[in-house]
Amino acid sequence: MKICNRFTGELILEVDDPAEIKQSGVSLFGADLGGVNLHGADLSGVDIRNANLGGAKLRDADLSKADLRWADLRNASLRYADLRNAKLRDADLSKADLRYANLRGADLPANFFYLRADPYDIFGTAECVWIGCEKLEVTDNLRAAILRLKEKHEITDATADRLIPLIESLINSVKGK
């Protein structure tokens, strides 16, 4: 696999196995890894700033302590990924699949809100993670987003009805009410 700089096209590293990336000790700053399969790769502590990881398959990857600031992670599969203490500030996580990812201690983008709801869950449970909230006026946007999910039948009515008060109580607790 050839890994090139996304801006200059310059070759950064050529490896046969993703395991060789960390062993090489090379910085992946600005690397173009869009759509690449890095399932289970150990990228812990690696400098991946400004990299294109859009659509990358990072399931079960170890990205703990990795520096992913300004990285493009749109549509990346990060299921079960270890992102403990990773630097994700200013990373684009739009539509990234973060189900079951470990985000403990991660430096996440400001106003990061992640809603995990399984529409097939017979108990109608959902998990909300809200980290680094700076703007509390997003309440109406979140309520509208939940209602859209409900209309599209992506979450059950019961789940939507439980999420709205949960979000409102979370906001009130952050505001100190």
**Predicted confidence (pLDDT) per residue in 104-158, tens digit:** 888 887 656 554 444 444 344 334 444 433 333 344 556 666 777 777 666 777 7
DSSP-based three-state secondary structure for 130: strand
Task: Grade residue 39 by pLDDT with cuts at 50, 70 and 90.
Answer: very high
Phi and psi, residue 160, nearest 5°: -60, -45
Burial of 63 (0-12, 13-18, 19+ CB in 10 A): buried
Element (H, E) at 129: strand 126-131
Give Cα 160 to chain centroid, integer Å. Answer: 22
Do 63 and 83 contact (CB within 8 A), yes or no? yes
Q: Which residue has the tokens 């209602």?
A: 147
Q: Which domains does the chain have, with CATH numbers?
A: 1-108 (2.160.20.80), 110-177 (no CATH)
CA atoms lying within 13 Å on the CB side of residue 42: 6
Mean pLDDT over each residue of the chain, to the nearest integer: 78
Its pTM stands at 0.65
Angle, vertex CA 20, rays to CA 43 and CA 8, nearest 5? 75
User: Percent helix, strand, coil in the chain (nearest 5)?
Assistant: 25, 20, 55
Name 125's Cβ contacts closer than 8 Å, sequence gap at least 6: 117, 118, 159
